[in-house]
Structure 1
């Protein structure tokens, strides 16, 4: 009866506990006891890719054999599977299970080159190969052209690096957002007509050229009932305080000249509040979501102002509303159209451009784009409270005025 045995699993980490299985590529070994086996390990035991590299060497009287577990000649099965070998200890009758490693032993013939071939040069393009041929066998003219082309290429790369460095410097100093803002403002100079209110030049009356509903929609007009009532309820002391605090001159002018009772007072009070929101928005750069709420602006009107007169940008993953130069011109055009309806088709451009924070030239350009008639009263003809009125006014008179563009280019050409 055969004796019973037990299994004992040995460790896998130490090389002393691992078994080695070798396979000879050129045949079978009849006398394995006459082979002298030696195993070499990599000296870098810290690098995880190199610490497990092993080389197995076997020497006989006639040939030497070498096998390794890395490189092209290694067996790929070592990376895909784990092999175990059982060794029976006849004294204790225990079967010891060891982790095994396979080596493919190949004969090492003296004098045969064992060094790896030199790595090939990187793949060259067809143009590079032609340049190499010209450099080696080309004529003097071809070599001169090649040298000139390479110098131009180097100069182009140097210029490109200089431009990139200058651009990075400008971006670092000003910031990307400021540069985008400047580009938007530059592009907006020629697109003023796109930001004007809808115009009906063939209208039969001045009130129908720029419709009131296109400037202040009926829905927003109804929503401004409470805010307009608060605006109409301001006392003379409160208006004086607004003037001292630097309030809007256009708004104060219409509050002071507002009708005492009736539908006209209610209409002007709502329009005056909406105008104050437009003027306040034109002074902003980055508009937050709480804009106008402290002043009593309804949510619906606030959303309409942000959608119509601001530009959405993305900064650090967040949406921001900014008032660009083009949007500021749009606010000026709509404010001017609203003032025309509030003042019998006449508006004070001087007060408006001061409240908007833009130049008088820009305000005049917007008024001309809308086809308005510019009026500046002569000295001694217009007096208000005993003072001379020197402000510039704009009136909507049919037919609309078509202004000619200033031909600066032609004048320069004639001078030449």
Structure 2
């Protein structure tokens, strides 16, 4: 471009463009192309445009008289520079003397030779090819017995393919009829029957002290505990009227009990207030099915604690083109286990199971099952005195005593009725 032309030209930025509107820059892995105008380019995009992980996948193919080239922006053969840098292409309009800037992405085109074995070929593919060769030999030179066996096997294969198609159609019908939410609920109920061991806090059964069995740092790391300083001060400033409102609402009974009986001053009071705020978030989390990204913001939850809750106590699911964080039954049991371990540290290794299972919204049997899985000793609270609520008689407590209690399997087998 000459100096006079450069002085009269101007740049026009086209702004942010969609992936489908981006310009394409290709390079050939085996050399340069002399006659680029004779190439026939085709671009393919992924059909699942609602899937955030697949909607931007593209495949570029180039056809010549002698060879075909293929490149993609995903997978092992893709260029990693697309994720690290942004590329732009300038297109000069000779009439208006304006150069338009378009965002672009790079593709590495490699020759695709038909019949060539791919890197992803498995041992099964090799076995299948060998079987086809043997079948061809049987058809040409085999005995009548071998030919009948070959015909029978092929008929069985056709029947198997038909069965797979029928199962796939039936599964699709069930999904369309029940819907995703109902199926997720069934999966959650199935998960609830699974073992609780993977969802319990790290346990040191050989510890010399009860407080070392479930370490406090495994529940809240020193960095996370430090991040709760401001939130804990808010809990300490709650008035007696506000605590009474929390009690009357029927939620957060464990939290109000902690705040009503916390020490007057010192490190123990500070620890109780911070843990009470974290426990209130766990109880709120357990009562919801899906969690939004704004969870805890109204209460002033630190970003570090919010990320911990999402990572530790929710499972990511894909629904209607969006990623959602769900609280399944197994995750709800994990919340119960970590909440129980936290209450043990705050209550001299004793916790009220009745208040906790009411706050979590789970059954008492499920709460007892969690306590037994943690090796705790089950005890009943003292009988209520005259004039006190009768509900205190029904309270169950759990205590951590060494050595831990080993319970039998919880799955009870029903006796079969005799046929007369």
Question: Which of 287, 296, 309 is the matching residue for 1:305?
Answer: 309
Equivalence for 1:169: 173
Say whether 1:376 aligns with 2:380.
yes
Matched with 2:246 is 242
Q: Work out the CA distance in 1 between the residues paired with 2:286 and 2:307.
A: 15
- Are residue 260 (structure 1) and residue 260 (structure 2) matched? no
What residue is the counterpart of 2:234 in the other structure? 230
1:208 matches 2:212: yes
**Is the CA contact 2:135–2:150 (under 8 Å) kept in the aligned structure 1?**
no
Whether 2:389 is the aligned partner of 1:387: answer yes
SS in 2 for 1:329: helix
Following TM superposition, by how much is the alpha carbon of 1:210 offset from its aligned partner in structure 2, in angstroms? 0.7
Deviations 1:190-210 (A, max 9, x none): 341111111111111111111
Alpha-carbon shift at residue 216 of structure 1 (Å): 1.3
What is the rounded CA distance, in whole Å, between the counterparts of 1:396 and 1:383 in structure 2? 26
Question: How far apart, in 1, do the equivalents of 2:386 and 2:200 lie?
Answer: 32
2:387 and 2:212 map into 1 onto residues whose CA distance is 33
Deviations 1:119-167 (A, max 9, x none): xxxxxx999999999xxxxx9x99x999999997787666555533332
SS state of the match for residue 295, structure 2?
Answer: coil
Unaligned runs of 5+ in 2: 1-131
TM-score (norm 1): 0.59
Task: Give the structure 2 partner of residue 357 of structure 1.
Answer: 361
Runs of 5+ consecutive residues of structure 1 not aligned to the other structure: 1-124, 134-138
Tell me how far apart the structure 2 counterparts of residues 282 and 403 of structure 1 sit (CA, whole Å).
26
**What is the aligned counterpart of 2:319 among 315, 319, 342?**
315
- SS of 1:173's equivalent in the other structure is helix
RMSD, aligned CA: 3.7
Matching residue within 326, 332, 338 for 1:334:
338
Change (3 A) 1:283 1:410: closer
**Aligned mates of 2:342, 2:418 — CA distance in 1:** 43
Q: TM-score, normalised by structure 2?
A: 0.59
Equivalent position SS for 1:301: helix
Residues 280/384 of structure 1: CA separation in 2 closer, same or farther (3 Å cut):
farther
Q: State the distance in 2 between where 1:384 and 1:391 align.
A: 16
The change in CA–CA distance for 1:409 and 1:386 in structure 2 (over 3 A counts) is closer
Is the Cα contact below 8 Å between 2:228 and 2:302 reproduced in 1?
yes
Task: Identify which range, 180-189 or 339-348, moves more after superposition.
Answer: 180-189
